[in-house]
Amino acid sequence: MGKTNQSSVTEFVLLGLSGYPELEAIYFVMVLCMYLVILLGNGIIIIVSVCDSHLHTPMYFFLSNLSFLDICYTSSSIPLFLSSFLTSQKTISFSGCGVQMFLSFAMGATECVLLSMMAFDRYAAICNPLRYSVIMSKTSYMSMAAGSWIAGGVNSVLQTSLAMRLPFCGDNVINHFTCEILAVLKLVCADISINVISMVIANVIFLVVPVLFIFVSYVFILSTILKIPSAEGKRKAFSTCSAHLTVVIIFYGTILFMYAKPKAKDFSGTDKVQVTDKIISLFYGVVTPMLNPLIYNLRNKDVKEAVKNMLCQKCSSEGMSML
């Protein structure tokens, strides 16, 4: 691609795995299967959380929000990613890139806050069971969820607007699967210090603060569980938050692995995004949303029971219609 100025940039080219055609068919099938699991698993959680009155609780309200968020996050990039395997066209419009970046930022930041709100819900349920219904009233948990979405949206508007207003006078080739902001900023021919500062502040607010909040919540939770005299009581108390803790570890563990590991270098010593780095990034965006519903379905008796009841009711209604 030749050099271009800001006014002529109407689209970007997403390289993806175009340099490794032997891998494209394999990853197309794998990502497609995982995306279908994401839609099915998260869709089931949303449906049972809405339809089963036993699941009309703060925890399942947050869980249905998390499932909806995962569907939105993956749907903002995976369909375009899959379509690029089927056609030779691997471009995305300038506005489409901005939308993709906005959704990625919004969903990521919102998930961080939502996970901390879910930790507070578990803290209130285990450490203050007698006041739980007062602390986590419908007004409270709906306000907490709305605040999570608003905070994520505001941050995304700020980060996206700061990035997309910059002049793109270099190559319009993004060496990534999606319009990932770090890959996009490499194409900018202006000072990006404001962008860097704003992202650092956002990382502190949406990564560091929620992690500390979750950590402190689980310190109190663990302290309370250890004071329970019976082993059965300890097991039941811990089982109510084990699924959430597993999701938190996977979510933040993959983020830490992605951004804390050293950059790959080629033989000339120049930093570049290797195929392994791209694949790790791809699977971070697909595997975590896929695992969330599996974890909650496999480890949560209430969700499994709700799904079973819903299936039984459907079979019963179909049987009656045949008579």
172-208 pLDDT tens trace: 888 777 888 888 888 888 888 999 999 999 989 998 9
Max Cα–Cα distance, the chain, nearest Å: 75
Q: Is the pLDDT of residue 314 over 80?
A: no
Look at 132 and 175; give whichever has higher pLDDT: 132
Which region among 41-45, 269-273, 290-294 has the lowest average model confidence (pLDDT)? 269-273
Of the pLDDT bands very low, low, confident and very high (cuts 50, 70, 90), residue 264 is very low
Q: What SS3 class is residue 235?
A: helix
**Is it the case that residue 265 has pLDDT exceeding 60?**
no
More confident call, 58 vs 262: 58
Whole-number average pLDDT of the chain? 81
Round to whole Å and give the CA distance between 54 and 302.
8
**pLDDT at residue 213 tops 70:** yes
| pLDDT tier for residue 79 given thresholds of 50, 70 and 90 | confident
Dig out the tokens for 24 from the structure: 């494209």
User: Residue 296: its pLDDT value, please?
Assistant: 77
Cα–Cα distances (Å) from 65 to 43, 99, 305, in that order, read 11, 21, 20
Predicted pLDDT of residue 76? 86
Other beta carbons within 10 Å of 5: 11
> What pLDDT score does 315 carry?
59
Reduced to 3 states (helix: H, G, I; strand: E, B; else coil), residue 274 is coil
Q: How many other C-beta atoms are found inside a 10 Å radius of the C-beta of residue 262?
A: 6
Average pLDDT on 33-60 reads 88
**Whether the predicted pLDDT of 244 surpasses 90:** no
Residue 291's pLDDT band, with cuts at 50, 70 and 90, is: confident
Alpha-carbon gap, residue 86 to 141, rounded angstroms? 43
Whether residue 278 is predicted with pLDDT greater than 80 in this model: the reply is no
Q: Which residue has the higher pLDDT, 74 or 18?
A: 74
Residue 6 has a pLDDT of: 47
- CB contact at 8 A, 281 and 177: yes
Q: What is the pLDDT of residue 284?
A: 72
Q: Which residue has the higher pLDDT, 306 or 95?
A: 95
Give the mean pLDDT of 150-167: 92
Question: In this predicted model, which residue has the larger pLDDT, 52 or 219?
Answer: 219
Tell me, what's the pLDDT at 5? Answer: 45
Phi, psi of 92 (to 5 degrees): -140, 140
User: How far is residue 161's CA from residue 68's CA, in Å, rounded to a whole number?
Assistant: 25
| Residue 30 scores a pLDDT above 70 | yes
Q: Looking at per-residue confidence, does 112 or 17 come out higher?
A: 112
pLDDT reported for residue 131: 92
Is residue 91 pLDDT above 50, yes or no?
Answer: yes
